[in-house]
Amino acid sequence: MTLLRGDALSAAFDHGSAAYDRLVAASPGYHAHLRRSARRLGLPDGGRGLRVLDLGCGTGASTAALLASAPYARITGVDASAGMLERAATKSWP
């Protein structure tokens, strides 16, 4: 097994970012699990007045799940992969 560290790991995710959304779409229940996890946070009042940090947001699937659960929160997505963030930025966000 090869372990990737630092820049090599980010580069691997950069390389895979173009296919990442298709890959997770093929995983049964992936998005449902994200939405369930976001709901289980129990953010009150639709997240009104809250700031939420989505660490490792990838292409934005987890960010979308958080937004669905807390539509009034200010959600910030962060990822070590520029490629993943570029894909997330191409999506329509409120």
For residue 31, tell me if it sits in a domain. yes
Residue 37 dihedral angles phi and psi, to the nearest 5°: -65, -40
**Counted domains in the chain:** 1
Q: Supply the pTM of this predicted model.
A: 0.88
Write out 3-31 in H/E/C secondary structure.
Answer: CCCHHHHHHHHHHHHHHHHHHHHCCCCHH
Whether residue 69 contacts residue 35, with contact meaning beta carbons closer than 8 Å, is answered with yes
pLDDT tens digits, the chain, 94 residues: what are they?
566 676 888 999 999 999 999 999 999 999 999 999 999 999 999 999 999 999 999 999 999 999 999 999 999 999 999 999 999 999 998 8
Q: 């409120």: which residue's tokens?
A: 94
What CATH number does the domain containing 54 carry? Answer: 3.40.50.150
For residue 17, tell me if it sits in a domain. yes
Tokens of 73: 């929160």
